[in-house]
Amino acid sequence: MLDSAMAALASLADPSLLIMLLIGTVAGLIMGLIPGLGGTGAVAILLPITFGMEPPQALALLIGALAVVHTSDTVSAVLLGAPGSASASVTMLDGYSMAKKGQAARALTLAFLSSMAGGIIGAVGLTLAIPLARPLVLSFASPELFMLTVLGVSLAAVLSRGNIIKGVSAGLLGLILGMVGTSPTTAEERFTFGSLFLGDGLSLVAVALGIFGLAEIASRASQRRGQKQIITLGGGWGQGIREWLTHWTHVIRGALIGIWAGVLPGVGATAGTWMAYGQAVATAKDKRQFGKGDPRGIVGPESANNSVEAGDLIPTLLFGIPGGVPSAMLLGMLLTYGIQPGPSIITEHLDLMYLIVWSFAIASVLGALLCFLSVKQLAKLTKVPFAILAAGLVAVMLLGSFQEGGQLGDLWIMIILGVFGWLLKSTGFPRAPFLIGFVLAIPLERYYFLTDSLYEGFDWMARPGVLVFLAILILPMIWAFIKFIRTRRKTNLDDGHRDEQPEDDEAPLKNSTWSLTASGIFFVAFAAALISSASFSPEARLVPQLVSTGGLIFSGFLLFIEIRRRLRDRTPKAGETLAEEADGIRGTQPAKAGWTLDAKFALKTFLWMTGFLALTAAFGYLIAVTIFIPAFLLIVARARLKVAIIYTGVLYVALLALPSLLPIDLPQGWLNTLV
């Protein structure tokens, strides 16, 4: 193992690896500043660039971005009081308080150094996990691997904060969507409805960018105003370094908590940072300064949010269970390269494991250094209105989705799933279990049939490892069900839900009609899948029917609750005035009006995306960009004409030069094919 570690370190002397690591680090820092992107957006946007690369270069690029995305999201939290991601909101409590006192440099020093230390400690944790878990992983056979895939989907749904029924339903629907295409056991097509395009299944990049990227843009594109003037950095760099050294125990504890939060599927950076903040408060003798500029309230959470990403990689690489959304996409990339996480990656690709470790550690140091050098310039990006950023993000995301399959159909799928993702986000359905289910669908089915062919009946369930995994699966479900029953009378089923960062999945406005609509879509989708699977061969329909049946049960129960609540809300209560009945106790008229405005703007944004795609299909990508970008900037973002012209020109030149620099193809319109 030491030889593999040294060989991985020596491979980083390759200029191509170092360049990819640097590009990934810079891209991660920039994307960390943009609200709604974070690790999910960084990996999703960079993932298409990796197609055609060798695995080491691809991993260096993605790990470089993943390692530092939580380092830069602190800048806006400290200087503006507007965190770049949900996890950075914890740092905002004390960091922004320091900044308002003229101590922004001190707060950023604490944050950058803690993020760097958290990344290094996380890399060390991943290194130690390899030899410790190796005997266990090598003892796994197909039954254990099958149970691990089930655990990956189930725990992501059960441990996600919010409604467990919605979480499980989302995970099961992700499994169904992942089964579109060719069956891994019988090679027959499923859920393709005669379409050759669907025969190869859906693109991971299109699904991820649609569910998370486009949905986030539609939710935030109404933000036409930039942030207020940035607080000056002031002094305190040296003081921050000295304070950071005195609080080294909080750094280590926070990093360890982050690793643990990353190992647990569905927990993520947001929960990890709050857990680290909680332990800092609980162990402090003097708690009066927390929230008012206490350095302990910065170092703990900041070390945790970087180590979370390293913790995510432990179950992803060693057991094939993605700990979060970014690691789920990383798992999908490994599978496309024929690299199977689990026993095979330890025996056949150990050098890649250590390359990930080294890349994570080096990127953490490099990211902190770059932040120190460029914090003033990075902070300026946070002043740009999101509507202006949205124009370029849409163009980049659609281009990225095209790279995997080279088909415009992927882009249409991406927009459709973007609408669906916005609906999930707005109604409190967690999106992380959905994507994890999509990624694990084929491995789950493959391991199940391999297990079924090697064992008689259910004899495989008597294996010790399987029994342990069953206990791990059932106990959290029982506990979550008990909590659900206890809080049933006190909370609404649509209470805010946050799934894997960087996206904030708290339903901003609650409306029973939209929640009922989402539940109905889930029920209809599972019913359609169950009916369609009846025409498959017995081997090909077994798993889809099991998943569809489970989905019908959960979504049916959810639909029943939504209908009953809607009827209850319509029933006038004793003593309720006509005015109160008109407004509604649970959903007041202003809330419904707000929801309507958000829904209308989201719909308009998706129509703009559809128009851009139609232009691309007709005239080609470059012409579509020159029409869409200035129109979106002038009409939607209400930018100045000068800004629109410069923006469009820079983006056009960059896209024109991109194919000569990276293995990227630009979509060609049907008019171009006629010429």
| Segment 366-376, tens digit of pLDDT | 888 888 888 77
Length of the chain: 675
**pLDDT, the chain, mean:** 79
pLDDT band for position 465 (cuts 50, 70, 90): confident
CA distance 447 to 150: 10
Q: Would you give the distance in Å from CA 294 to the centre of its chain?
A: 30
pLDDT band for position 594 (cuts 50, 70, 90): very low
**For residue 214, what are the contacts with CB-CB under 8 A and spacing of at least 6?**
394, 397, 414, 415, 417, 418, 421, 422, 606, 609
Bigger pLDDT: 1 or 167?
167
* The predicted structure's pLDDT at residue 632: 92
Please state the rounded mean pLDDT for residues 428-450: 85
Q: Would you give the distance in Å from CA 87 to the centre of its chain?
A: 13
* The predicted structure's pLDDT at residue 576: 47
Cross-strand bridge partners of residue 181: 190
* The predicted structure's pLDDT at residue 590: 42
* The predicted structure's pLDDT at residue 531: 93
Please write the tens of the pLDDT for every residue from 627-671. Answer: 999 999 999 888 899 999 999 999 999 888 877 776 678 888 887
* 351-360, 512-521, 567-576, range with the lowest pLDDT: 567-576
Please state whether 638 falls in left (phi above 0), alpha (psi between -120 and 50) or beta.
left
Query: Is residue 2's pLDDT more than 50?
Result: yes
**For residue 537, what are the contacts with CB-CB under 8 A and spacing of at least 6?**
186, 188
CA distance 658 to 108: 34
Tell me the H-state helices in 212-283: 215-220, 237-246, 248-263, 268-283
Bigger pLDDT: 547 or 346?
547
* Contact status, residue 244 vs residue 299, Cβ threshold 8 Å: yes
* The predicted structure's pLDDT at residue 503: 41
* 7-21, 274-288, 347-361, 564-578, range with the lowest pLDDT: 564-578
* The predicted structure's pLDDT at residue 502: 39
The full set of domain ranges for the chain reads: 2-510, 589-674
* 310-319, 515-524, 537-546, 554-563, range with the lowest pLDDT: 310-319
CA distance 44 to 40: 6
pLDDT band for position 526 (cuts 50, 70, 90): very high
* The predicted structure's pLDDT at residue 512: 65
Amino acid residing at 416 = I
Q: Above pLDDT 90, what percent of the chain?
A: 14
* Contact status, residue 246 vs residue 451, Cβ threshold 8 Å: no
* Contact status, residue 139 vs residue 395, Cβ threshold 8 Å: no
Question: Quick one: which of 354, 418, 403, 324 has its CA closest to 50?
Answer: 403
Please state the rounded mean pLDDT for residues 231-241: 71
Q: Find the angle CA(638)-CA(642)-CA(643) to the nearest 5 degrees.
A: 55
Query: Which contacts (CB < 8 Å, 24+ apart) does range 342-351 have?
Result: 342/137, 342/140, 342/145, 342/148, 342/318, 343/137, 343/138, 343/140, 345/317, 345/318, 346/130, 346/134, 346/137, 346/138, 346/318, 347/138, 349/55, 350/1, 350/4, 350/130, 351/4, 351/7, 351/8, 351/11
Burial of 657 (0-12, 13-18, 19+ CB in 10 A): exposed
CA distance 193 to 179: 13
* 124-133, 144-153, 159-168, 306-315, range with the lowest pLDDT: 159-168
* The predicted structure's pLDDT at residue 647: 92
pLDDT band for position 235 (cuts 50, 70, 90): low
Query: Is residue 611's pLDDT more than 90?
Result: yes
Query: Is residue 415's pLDDT more than 90?
Result: yes
**For residue 94, what are the contacts with CB-CB under 8 A and spacing of at least 6?**
107, 290, 291, 292, 293, 294, 295, 297, 298
pLDDT band for position 587 (cuts 50, 70, 90): very low
- Which range in 24-28, 67-71, 161-165 is most confidently predicted, on average pLDDT? 24-28
Here the tokens at position 66 are: 């993943």
Query: Is residue 527's pLDDT more than 90?
Result: yes
CA distance 435 to 411: 17
Within a 10 A sphere around the Cβ of 675, how many other Cβ atoms? 6
Here the tokens at position 338 are: 């024929």
* The predicted structure's pLDDT at residue 582: 42
* The predicted structure's pLDDT at residue 265: 61
What is the Cβ-side half-sphere exposure of residue 537, based on CA atoms within 13 angstroms? 10
